[in-house]
Every structure is written in C-alpha cells, then in structure tokens.
Amino acid sequence: MRARAISTSASNARVGDGNFFSRSRDGRRAKTRARVGRGRGGRRIDFLERAPGMARRGRRRGRRARWPCAGASADGDGTSTAIFHFERGCAYGTKEMKDLLGSKGSGLAEMALLGLNVPAGFTISAACNERFAARGSTYVQSELWPDVLEAVSSLERTAKRTVFRSGCSLVGRAPLLLSVRSGAAASMPGMMDTVLNLGLSDACVAACVEAGFDERWVYDSYRRLLAMFGDVVEGIPKMDFEVALSQARSANEVRFDSELPAEALKKLCDEYKDIYVKHGKTFEQDPMNQLSKSILAVFSSWNNPRAVEYRDINRLSGLLGTAVNVQQMVFGNFNDNSGSGVCFSRNPADGTDKVYGEFLQKAQGEDVVSGVRTPMMISDLAGTQASAAEELNEVCKELEKDYKDMMDIEWTIEDGNLYILQCRVGKRTGTAAVRIATEMAAEGIITRDEALMQVNAKQIEQVLHPVFVIDETSAEYSGKIVAKGKPASPGAAVGAICFSAKEAKEMKAKGTPVILVREETCADDIGGMFAAEGILTARGGMTSHAAVVARGWGKPCVSGCGDIVFKNDREIRFGSSDKTFRSGNVISINGTTGEVLNASFPVAPSTIETFLPLKTFMQWVDQKRGIEIRANADTPEDADAAIRNGASGIGLVRTEHMFFSTTDRVHAIREFIMAQDETSSTIALEKLEKYHYEDFRGILKAAAGRKVTVRLIDPPLHEFLPSEKQLREGGAQEMSRYIGKSTHDIMEIAENMREHNPMLGLRGCRLGILRPSMSKMQVRAFAQAAIDLTSEGFPVTPSIMVPLVSTVDEFHNQRDLVWGVMKELAKENQQPPIRMEIGAMIETPRCALIAGDLARAGASFFSFGTNDLTQMTYGFSRDDSDAFIKPYIAKGLLRDDPFVTLDPVAVAELMDIAIHRARDIRNDIEVGVCGEHGGDPASLRTIDALDVDYASCSPSRVLVARLAAAQAACSRKEKVKTKPFAVTAA
C-alpha cells in the first residue's frame, strides 16, 4: 500500500531549514513544519506536515475551516508531496513556495491563508511535471491518479457539491465544476492556458436544465467548455469556434455574446460538437477523463516548442515545470448580478493610490482580456455592486500589506459575492514605481530599505527620459514596429525623417520635430543631431559616435539598425518590407528598446525636474548608499546634466572626446598630428588649447566646487585620422586643403603611425611621455581655467589623472610634467601654484600590483579604468570581442560579457589587491572606478563590496548608479575589509 498521508519519518532525508507558515487573520503565525531533503539517488524531495494546532481560521465570523483531508498527500513513491490543497482560511502552501506551486498556485495558497474568498481547490506541484517528463503519461494515469481522485472527493466535501456522475440528482444544488489552470514559477506565455467549466457534459447539462437552473447560464458555460477544451486539449483551432460564435451573433442580430438567448447558445453547443467531429474528435463526456486529459495537456505544454523557445530567450532555466491548479468554478456569467474583472491595487501608470481596473458584467474571466466587449472601469463598480466594490478595495489593501507591493488581481463576482482568483505583483511604469515605493514606505507598509529595493534600474531610467504615452506591451504598439536596432540612448522620440544635418536644422527651425536618419554620424552632423528629437543610424554600435553623443545629451538614439535599406539618399525602406519612407514621413523611435515604429505616438516628457516623489526617493537613496557617484563628462553640457542628476563630482573628463565635437576641432587635432616641426605643432596646439580652456572652464563651473578629474590624452593618435580607406577615397585631399600638406605626405605620415595592435601601442601615458607637448598643453589649459575661476571667486577642485600607467617611473615622468607646467603658470600669473592633485589610472594588471609603490611615489588618488583592466586581465580585445563573447555566452562558457558586467572574480581581485596595497601606504588615499561599469547595477554590487570611495559613470546613468549603489548597500551585510590575497608586496 502506498502511503496516503504524509510520512513524518524521513530516515534518509537531511532536514533542511525551510519553515512554512500558516497565517491567521490577525497575523499570528502558526508553524507548519516543512522539510526538504534528498531522497534515494539524491533527488530533491519536499515534505510538508501539519503541526498540531495550526491556525485555520476563516475570514468572517471567526469560522473555523474544516480541513478537508490529509491536506498534502503523498504521491507514488511515498516521499514527495504531489498535491497541495487550499481553501478559504487554510492552505498547504505560501507565497514563498513559487518554485513548487508556481506563481498562481502559491498566490492562491497565500490568499487562502489570508482568509480571502478564494474558491477551494488544489495545486498539483511542478515537481509532478518533472516526473511526468521523465516517466510519461503512465505517471499521471496510474501513479498520480489515485491522489487526484482523493483530492477531488475532498474538494467535493468542501464545496458541498459533487462532480456530476450519471444518475446523480441535482435537485437544489449545482454540480461541482472545475477550472484547470497551468502556472509555472515564472510567467510564461506559450503554455497551455485555462479550461473553465470542466465537468459539464450532455447528461450534466440536461440534468441542470431539468433541475431548473437558468438555461442561458448552463449553455453559455457549456459552449465555453467545448471551445476551451477543444482548443487547449484537443488542438482544434480556436478560430473555428470563434467563427461559429460570430455567425450566431449575426443570426440573432446581437452585438455581444452576453445577449445571445439560451436557445441560440444551445444550438451553438451542437455546432461546436460538430466542429469536433469535423476534426475527427469527439468531446469527452466523462468529467474525470476531462480532468486527466487536461492535466496531461498542461504538463505536455511545458515542453512545446513555443514554451521552450520562450525559456531559452529569457534564460529561464532550472524550473521544475508547471504546476496545475484545479479549482472550484465560480460563475461570473451567472446572472446580471455577476461579472469578472481584473484590477491593480494602485494605478500602474502613475502610481495613484486608487484601485484601478476593468470589469465586465455577466462574463467569465477570459472575456475581459480578450476584448470581446469593451469593459467598464472599476470606478463604475461601486454604482452597481457597492458591497463587492468595497470588499475588493479591502482585499487590495490586505494583499498589498501581505506582499508589501502593488498587486495585480483577477476576480469574479457570482450573484453579488466576490471571489478572488489570482494575484501577483503588478507591472508598472517608472513613474508609478517611484510613487508607489515612496508612498508605501510613508504609509508604513514597507521600510525605506524595502522601498529602495522595489524600484529597479529600468524604472528609474524611465523617469529620466521622455516615454511613449501608449502601453508598449499593447498590440497597437507592437503592430507598428518596422525595424530593430541597438538601444543606444534611452527614451522615446517622434518626428519627421531627415536624411541630413542641414535638413534637420532647417525643419526644426520651422517648428517640425525631426528624427535624423543616417548611415552613421560624424562630427559634421552635430548640429543636426542636436536639432533632432532622436537619432537613427544604420551602422555603429552602442559606442558609436551617434550613441555616445546622444547619450551625453540624453537624446533618444537607435544605432546599428541593420534593417534600414537606403534605396537612395532620399528614400529608405525597412527589412523586407517594400514600403518606402521619404524625408518628411513621421516615425517613432524607442531608444530604450531599439525599436523603430511606423507611427506617430504621443510622447510624454521626462518628469525628473517636477516629480516630487522622485526627490524624496532619491534622498533616501543618497542616505543609504556607501559610495559616491560621480560622472564621466566631456563637455560643460554633460557636466551640467550630470550635476543635475545628482553626481557628486566629475570622475573622468576624457580630453580626447573634446577633439571630436566639431569639424574645426577635428581639423586642429589632425593638424597637430601631421605637424613635422616645432612651429606648426605649436600653432596647432594653441588652437586646441583655446578649445580645451573653454571646455574645462565650463566643466569646472558646472561642477561648482566639486572635484573634477581630467585625464590626459589617452587613445593612439591615429584614431583621430580618417581610416586608410577614407584617406584614399578623398579624405587625404580634404585634409590637405585644410592643413596645407600634400596628400602624399599625409598618406605617408598616416602610414607610419599605423600599429598592429593599437590597444597595446603608443597610447596613454606613453604618448604623454614621448609627445609631451600635447599633455603639457592640456595641463596648461586646465590649470589656467582653474586659476581664472578661482580669482573670479568660483570654488574649484581640479585634479589630473595619468592614464595607462605600468611603472612607477612613468608616473614620476608625468607628475614632473604636470608640476613643471604648474610652476610655469605660477610664475606667469605671479602667484603661488594652485592645488592640483595628481593620480594614476589603474588599467594594467602591473599597475594594480604596484599601487603601493605609486602611493609611496606621491599619487594622490587612484581610479580604476575597468574597461582596459578587463581587456588586459582576460586578454580579450575590447574592439574584437563581439566575435567570441556572444558565442561564449551562448555556449555557457561565460555568464556575462565582462565589458558590461565587471568580473567579480579576477578583475575584482586585482582591484582588491591594489586597494589594499595603496591603503597600506596611505589609509585615506582616494580610490574610485571610472568607465562603463560604473553605470551597471550588477557591477556596482561588486564595486560596492570593494573598499572604494566612488564610482563614475555617464551622466545619464547617474540616477541608476545612485540607486544601484543604495541597493547594493541594502543587500550587503557589512563592508568587510578583508586582508588582501596573500601576495607578497612587489
């Protein structure tokens, strides 16, 4: 005999630490012991056993729920629990048991525990799906089946109704009908959905009619079962049923299904059965066979191609399968006093604390979402169903308190009684997320730390940028997508297509918003890019010119959109579609997702300046975080944006970016590169110095006394020249016109500069050492700007950073260079030198190891350039790694792209070593991180765990980084200052 009740002895099981609880209304927790252990062969097994005295109080009138049967029963091998009952007031499950019960099942159990009015039922665990996958349908039909039978009969006792069997009398009570619903731990479209009204059959329908039940209700329920069972269990196209239904509507001259009379519905049922026959099937008349077929269909759907693909794409692995929820039906289609609806406990669009949702009178659940009729707003419910509306409000509040979050709820009213059928944490916009988190904390539902954890990076980013007013998950939106590129700079933009910068400026001047569409952008396009609402390019990635410039401005940009086909320079089409888009045609781009839309959707502006809850929220963020967030900014505008977003300084000014921004600047730097003698080099440098001075002045001013760290020239100089191909195809000629050198000379100089491996070539401080005039000019421009601002009464904190240091002598050389210039300037200005800190950028593994020596040599701060440090630690070229990193991730050889997510293992260890060695020499030496990692939440967790003072990221990521740093602080226990790895000092 197999064990019926749960076995309490588990001799070979290791007792785990899981504790599951049953909660009574007043919040007292009664313990249910749960054990998790390993069975034979190491398989994970779960036990649940009810502790004596477990609280099972009903919601109203203190009703004590009668426990229907052994509760959780054991499956075939007598070890692992297969079935988990729930009914109002008690349940064998909690919201924490998502893995086993699925999200729907765990929610039903939780709501039942809370005493909410949930129709009784049971959940067959996801572990059974795993067993089914291993053993096939015999597992369900023979091993699991006795348990299901017993669970159904216990449900019959609870519901005081029975599943219809022939000869059954229905006088005075309706038959027990069931809903069978799938539900995995993660929401998963593509699996079998729901069968409602299971248990109806020809005989049952006849008996119901004979017993005097409303015929309309009976046939309406039956036709729904026939269609749903046909679709999801028998695989008959849904469309066939829908066609018959719409024919019935026209034949009866009604607009809505709910207006069809009983006669028509009865006829429809017959037609539906004919559809079965047409497909070579017959409708299963036996209720228990209906049930077993449905369970099998749910279990099998887990591995259907659509579901498998969905899990692949969303990297969902390690799930057991789907659970099956079998539940007593309640009827929203019962009479005019009935209906079905969905709602959010607060408004998911703007976060307002008011229940928000829709419902349909005289309808069953799927009608509301399928759009067969236009639903009514929930605010109208109070007019027709006052007490149910009030109860729904209460339920929302209660669920919010329990889940500590905004909830999405599905419910049905049967003859005036409210039943709750599903709950989950609700999806919301960024604005709503911030408002809900702050208000819930203010209401005391959650703590401030919990509020900080409730808002994610994507949401906070949304608040920063303009967004489409339309719901981006709607069919209306997705139907308009014509192409996809890289999400280069977030935000939504709408405008008329322009193919040149000139055209963009002209149209903008006339008041027409434009989207600039280019193959790729260059410095000459700057004006047009600035005039445009958004930028769309056919080529280039996340770090292309268009992407970098747009991000700096916070302007939406989609780059590398390979779907764009230029038919000529005035016309494009997208992908395989023939539709031609000309200049002036309106399109929308979504820089957050990379989508291009053939639509003119309204856009709502960023709310960062005006949105009060955001101010409060960010205050909490700043109180919590353990590291400073600075920004990487290369222009006064960037610096200004960064400070407005709450950066506490400028952690990195990439001086070379200042040469890219206008054509004049590009020409000036090329002139310097091409200069073969002292005089022409000096002339070029003087031009550059003027640009630098203005920019540095603006940046220092925007920083308003906060620290500004300028990095001396870093990239190999040939990066400023056109490519070899461009030079040959007219680029050299153009340069020649400007610089006054022969094309031949230009080609030759460029040729001599070419390197096999530029990343490891003449760049960084090597350049500053071998061509010091450039670095000296930079120091001069920066220091002079600082001196002038000081004398004008503006506070400044300037510092200079030496890039790509590998030896102490390199650092000495560059420090002397800086001091030399500072002394010269002091003399020229006839005043003592201003304070200028000089630090080193740690970008090579060697530099990390000699950080102690550098500190001793007088480096006053360090900043990790994690991009180069990653490149050199892995030996992965930043520029060529796309070719193997993606395949590596696909093969499971890498978890993440280390250039996106900082490697918490080796790169972090190198950083840790450097920090300890530096702090051993000077405990208070400032250490920071600059580079793209500083804006990535996962990387910030690693950075936060290190003993650093700040992270610096792009201006548009500052808000995200502040939040991520606060969240890292919430989830970290204590910042542990461990001893460094046992490597003896160099």
Q: Cβ of residue 278: shortest distance to ligand ADP, in angstroms?
A: 27
Is 867 within any annotated ligand binding site?
Answer: yes
Q: Cβ of residue 411: shortest distance to ligand ADP, in angstroms?
A: 8
* Contacts of Mg ion in 77-96 (CB under 5 A): none
**Integer Cα distance of 888 and 190 in angstroms:** 28
Is 843 within any annotated ligand binding site?
Answer: yes
**Whats the size of the chain, residue-wise?**
986
Tell me which of ligand ADP, Mg ion, none is bound by residue 865, counting a contact when its beta carbon lies within the kind-specific cut-off of 5 to 8 angstroms.
Mg ion
Q: Cβ of residue 633: shortest distance to Mg ion, in angstroms?
A: 16
Edge-to-edge strand list for the sheet holding 514-518: 481-484, 595-597, 586-590, 492-498, 514-518, 534-537, 557-559, 486-489
Beta strands in 43-177 (DSSP E): 44-49, 73-74, 81-87, 90-91, 121-124
**Integer Cα distance of 519 and 446 in angstroms:** 49
- Of 418 and 894, which has the nearer Cβ to ligand ADP? 418
**Integer Cα distance of 354 and 360 in angstroms:** 19
Helix (H) or strand (E) holding 930: strand 926-930
Is 865 within any annotated ligand binding site?
Answer: yes
Tell me which of ligand ADP, Mg ion, none is bound by residue 193, counting a contact when its beta carbon lies within the kind-specific cut-off of 5 to 8 angstroms.
ligand ADP
Is 984 within any annotated ligand binding site?
Answer: no
Is 866 within any annotated ligand binding site?
Answer: yes
Write out the residues near ligand ADP by the rule CB under 6 A: 119, 179, 181, 193-194, 196, 327-330, 340, 364-366, 410, 412, 421-422
On whether the CB atoms of residues 958 and 461 are closer than 8 A, the answer is no
- How distant, in Å, are the alpha carbons of 106, 165, 639, 854, 945 from that of 949? 43, 73, 20, 18, 11
Helices (H), 722-880: 724-726, 732-739, 743-753, 765-770, 772-791, 808-829, 845-849, 851-856, 866-874
**Integer Cα distance of 218 and 641 in angstroms:** 64
**Integer Cα distance of 276 and 939 in angstroms:** 56
Tell me which of Mg ion, ligand ADP, none is bound by residue 716, counting a contact when its beta carbon lies within the kind-specific cut-off of 5 to 8 angstroms.
none
Listed in sequence order, the residues at least 6 apart from 877 whose beta carbon sits closer than 8 Å to its beta carbon are 759, 871
* Contacts of Mg ion in 377-436 (CB under 5 A): 410, 422
- Of 196 and 546, which has the nearer Cβ to ligand ADP? 196
- Of 125 and 775, which has the nearer Cβ to ligand ADP? 125
Site string for Mg ion, 831-850 (x = CB under 5 A): ------------x-------
* Contacts of Mg ion in 862-901 (CB under 5 A): 865, 868
Q: Cβ of residue 734: shortest distance to Mg ion, in angstroms?
A: 30
> What phi and psi, each to the nearest 5 degrees, are found at residue 52?
-60, 140
Q: Which of 557, 930, 933, 953 is catalytic?
A: 930
Active site annotation includes 545: yes
Tell me which of ligand ADP, Mg ion, none is bound by residue 196, counting a contact when its beta carbon lies within the kind-specific cut-off of 5 to 8 angstroms.
ligand ADP
Nearest partner of 423 among 186, 745, 95, judged by Cα: 95
**Integer Cα distance of 217 and 239 in angstroms:** 23
- How distant, in Å, are the alpha carbons of 194, 236, 275, 281, 324 from that of 230? 12, 5, 9, 9, 18
Site string for Mg ion, 798-837 (x = CB under 5 A): ----------------------------------------
Q: Cβ of residue 423: shortest distance to ligand ADP, in angstroms?
A: 10
Tell me which of ligand ADP, Mg ion, none is bound by residue 366, counting a contact when its beta carbon lies within the kind-specific cut-off of 5 to 8 angstroms.
ligand ADP
Listed in sequence order, the residues at least 6 apart from 623 whose beta carbon sits closer than 8 Å to its beta carbon are none
Within a 10 A sphere around the Cβ of 660, how many other Cβ atoms?
Answer: 19
From 55-63, 512-520, 649-657, 857-865, span contacting Mg ion (CB under 5 A):
857-865
Q: Cβ of residue 255: shortest distance to ligand ADP, in angstroms?
A: 22
Q: What's the gap between Cα 357 and its chain centre? A: 24
- Of 198 and 561, which has the nearer Cβ to ligand ADP? 198
Tell me which of ligand ADP, Mg ion, none is bound by residue 852, counting a contact when its beta carbon lies within the kind-specific cut-off of 5 to 8 angstroms.
none
Tell me which of ligand ADP, Mg ion, none is bound by residue 265, counting a contact when its beta carbon lies within the kind-specific cut-off of 5 to 8 angstroms.
none
Task: Please tell me whether residue 656 binds Mg ion under the rule CB under 5 A.
Answer: no
Q: Cβ of residue 405: shortest distance to ligand ADP, in angstroms?
A: 18
Q: Cβ of residue 277: shortest distance to ligand ADP, in angstroms?
A: 27
From 44-52, 148-156, 661-669, 859-867, span contacting Mg ion (CB under 5 A):
859-867
Q: Which of 85, 545, 667, 718 is catalytic?
A: 545
**Integer Cα distance of 433 and 437 in angstroms:** 6
Q: Is 521 helix (H, G, I), strand (E, B) or coil?
A: coil
> What phi and psi, each to the nearest 5 degrees, are found at residue 198?
-65, 140
Q: Cβ of residue 340: shortest distance to Mg ion, in angstroms?
A: 11
Tell me which of Mg ion, ligand ADP, none is bound by residue 928, counting a contact when its beta carbon lies within the kind-specific cut-off of 5 to 8 angstroms.
none
Beta bridge mates, 385: none
Residue 912 backbone class (left: φ over 0; alpha: ψ -120 to 50; beta: rest): alpha
From 38-46, 784-792, 860-868, 877-885, span contacting Mg ion (CB under 5 A):
860-868
Q: Cβ of residue 177: shortest distance to ligand ADP, in angstroms?
A: 8
- Of 557 and 914, which has the nearer Cβ to Mg ion? 914
Query: What DSSP string describes 871-898?
Result: HHHHT--TTTTHHHHHHHHHHTS-SS-T
Q: What angle do CA 87, 90, 91 make, to 5 degrees?
A: 80
* Contacts of Mg ion in 709-748 (CB under 5 A): none
Beta bridge mates, 198: 178, 200
Tell me which of Mg ion, ligand ADP, none is bound by residue 768, counting a contact when its beta carbon lies within the kind-specific cut-off of 5 to 8 angstroms.
none
Beta bridge mates, 407: 425
Q: Which segments are annotated as binding site for Mg(2+)?
A: 843, 868
Please give the residue ranges that form the binding site for Mg ion (CB under 5 A).
Answer: 410, 422, 843, 865, 868
- Binding-site members are 654, 711, 843, 865-868
Residues with catalytic function: 545, 930
**Annotated binding-site members for substrate:** 654, 711, 843, 865-868
